[in-house]
A and B are shown apart, each in its own frame.
Chain A
């Protein structure tokens, strides 16, 4: 069974930092592109970042570019999101999610999702 378990969230002051982790199991983690998606309280889904399978390429939403860094450790089956210079508008539940490989296009939706972890940025 595919499992994604996020950790590392919590309350942080504006300008602070947090590192989220996502532990993967039940599949060959090193084969999959991975993503972070967030959801502010009562709001919709927003894509944050993605990383390719070997960790050599990543992209970011404009709203987090230069502040957030996605990375992965394939030996530990873990995805990370380093979040710096946090702002109140970064307050959200953060989900890690996996690419759903149905063709070889490099354009994929997201299938398995973690349960999400809450990040609250407030003084």
Chain B
């Protein structure tokens, strides 16, 4: 099973600032099958990024993904008030599909 470790656990930032979230895999992720999701309290997750760097339909271009192999990053270029949430990475190249433990982006 591929273990995904996200860091930091919590990121305290102000609106307008840049956020960089890390996701490290215990082994190489096949073909960069790595996704990022956003989850707000009481809501279902929302797909942001797939294939490490492709934005899902309707996702603003302030969200970008990068990385390959075992190291991946989600960047939010300028935080909007609605971006404060928990973010999860997921690998879907190996079974079982696994998620990271999440990074909470909170208002400083």
Which parts of A69-109 form the interface with B (CB within 8 Å)?
Answer: 95, 97, 100, 102, 105, 107-109
Instruction: Decide: A110 and B96 in contact? CB cutoff 8 A.
Output: no
Residues of A within 8 A of B46 (CB): 113
- A45:B92 contact, CB within 8 angstroms: no
Across the interface, which residues of A come within 8 angstroms of B33, CB to CB? 105, 107, 109
Q: Tell me if A1 is interfacial: C-beta within 8 Å of chain B.
A: no
- The total number of A-B Cβ pairs within 8 Å is 60
Q: Which of A45, A47, A100 contacts B56 (CB 8 A)?
A: A100
Q: How large is the interface on B (under 10, 10 to 19, 20 to 34, 35 or more residues)?
A: 20 to 34
Which A24-74 residues have C-beta < 8 A from chain B?
A: 35, 44-47, 50, 59, 61-62
Interface residues of B (CB under 8 A from A): 30-31, 33, 35, 37, 39, 44-47, 50-51, 54, 56-57, 88, 90, 92-93, 95-102
Binding site for B on A (CB under 8 A): 35, 44-47, 50, 59, 61-62, 95, 97, 100, 102, 105, 107-111, 113-116
